Chains A and B, each alone.
Chain A
């Protein structure tokens, strides 16, 4: 595979070993210009390692890294036109906010006066002009995060790398900064590669998400596609809320599979890859797509269960169903449906699962 010249960053079979342990197993990834791409996965999945091979702080054991079509494996970190927003910001404590922001321009041959001017302009963009003369330790977490962003963006890198930059902030501030990051990314047109373990955060900001697990990239797609068409059990359960039903595969026909649940019901759904007749399998469905009603009509894949709880969560109601095997299913439905179907604890409504929304994957034990 040759370097794709249309990509901002192109990783070709990049692998990284730490002694016996493989942190990254031959990753292929092309990041487009102006794209917001998120590397999503639990800790130890290789997402930070991937980021650090691009910044140059880790040397890949195998594979090639291209930036705008140029191989940069042997380029020292400080010579790569790539900048990073670090997880703990790493703002220099002995410099003012202004000097922190202007730091990187020193090495681009920018004069002190121009540096000051551009740093002030950059601070204005992140609404921190008033704090130019402060030391970083006088700032709040959110402000430090914005200084770190300004310090990296002032270099107008070809790619900006962000290593869980919001993980130290509280939920409300995190949501606010997610939107701000997205806005900055759109305005600058710089490709962002964002590392996070928070799937909600990934969904909010990303053009595309790469789902990583144990050094492998499991799926790379848009947030919507990952949500609607997960291609494996990990992606299906890691992204978004999901219900899980266990059983065995009865038959597989092209992209349709039928399985027998441990509780005895037969259900049909979309067949995941490597699904074999007779193998242990799990059916996955989002709470939003469950149908809980007193009037089954044309509901598919009916299963047994009893309403355990109806929970108020704003515009919707969450109905918790207890299955005969004591597992739980969650369903999101409207207050109207709750009222007309008389859903209340102890009730036994019809519980349907549209086969187009039901994904059947081989059980994790299979791998």
Chain B
């Protein structure tokens, strides 16, 4: 068949491979190796000198501030990921199993915010959570509180809330797709064999949707760990996340080697946690089966 022959054509194959390779080299490999190289250089006044020193890493580890900021980011990213995974899964389950004729509308509502700017979506929460914001005004109007709650905004809470809101579709959509294509016969067969609804969920539905859940959760984790806009807009002075610090090293502090070392550390932490998440996903999929 002509199409088969065309697909087996070596020229086409290499052309496609070249595209991927060029992309990987220019978007991933080059910048990362540049950062890795910078991270062992030295800063001298307003210039960087090529070297091979680990001073930058030592500084990141020894300084309490940077440890705290990395920990801060990890806490925010982990809690955002956990809450998003649970809420996103519940939402996807509702959409796939119960929404029926509302399904299209609800999916649409879930996707529409993705068309607006990230900045705008984060900023919206400032309006909702602010001292004179929608939430405080509402609670005061109905007499729930006497004066505005001060800690809604500029805290880890507000950062997390905004990130959860923004990243919810990243879990809900892939999990919905997985649940949607899962034949209902599996659930019936499980019930038929004596499994309660919760046992069916644990043994059948969850393992079958686990790959989608871990994929979504991984994306959410990476994005929220590296986010720098939300902390600036909604975070307090003590709620800096690691990306903010890295940006300031490349900007105001003009210390590219140290910024690079921090970036490499973040990369390692994220890779480690992603590996953990994957292992957890595989373990639960296998353990349940």
Residues of A within 8 A of B (CB): 55, 57, 76-79, 82-84, 86, 88, 90-95, 99, 103-104, 106-108, 151-152, 155
Contact = CB atoms under 8 A, between A and B. Distances in A.
Contacts of B208: 93-94
B192 A83 contact: yes
Given A77-B191, A90-B185, A107-B199, 14 more contacts: A57-B191, A78-B192, A79-B194, A83-B193, A86-B189, A88-B183, A88-B185, A90-B188, A90-B189, A93-B208, A106-B194, A106-B203, A107-B193, A108-B194
A101 to B, nearest CB: 10
Contacts of A57: 188, 191-192
Contacts of B196: 78, 107
B195 A106 contact: yes
Nearest to A102: B193
B191 A78 contact: yes
Contacts of A93: 208
A350 B289 CA distance: 70
A181 to B, nearest CB: 18
Query: Which DSSP category, helix, strand, loop or mixed, fits chain B's interface?
Result: helix
Contacts of B190: 92, 103
23 contacts: A57-B191, A57-B192, A77-B191, A78-B191, A79-B194, A82-B192, A83-B192, A83-B193, A84-B188, A84-B192, A86-B185, A91-B189, A92-B190, A92-B203, A92-B289, A94-B207, A94-B208, A103-B190, A106-B194, A106-B199, A107-B199, A151-B193, A155-B194
B226 to A, nearest CB: 32
B109 to A, nearest CB: 29
Contacts of A91: 189
Contact of B192 (A55, A92, A108): A55
A338 B126 CA distance: 96
A103 B192 contact: no
B8 to A, nearest CB: 26
Of A92, A95, A104, A108, the most chain B CB neighbours within 10 A belong to: A92
Contacts of A107: 193-196, 199
A155 B207 contact: no
A77 B289 contact: no
Contacts of A55: 192
A104 B194 contact: yes
B186 A90 contact: yes
B122 interface: no
Nearest to A107: B194
Of B191, B192, B195, the most chain A CB neighbours within 10 A belong to: B192
Contacts of B188: 57, 77, 84, 86, 90
B285 interface: yes
Contact of B204 (A79, A82, A86, A92): A92
Contact of B183 (A78, A90, A151): A90
B289 A104 contact: no
A86 B190 CA distance: 11
B34 to A, nearest CB: 42
Nearest to B192: A84
Interface in B183-222: 183, 185-186, 188-196, 199, 203-204, 207-208
Interface in B147-192: 183, 185-186, 188-192
B289 A95 contact: yes
Contacts of A84: 188-189, 192
A55 B128 CA distance: 51
Contacts of B186: 90, 92
A76 B190 CA distance: 13
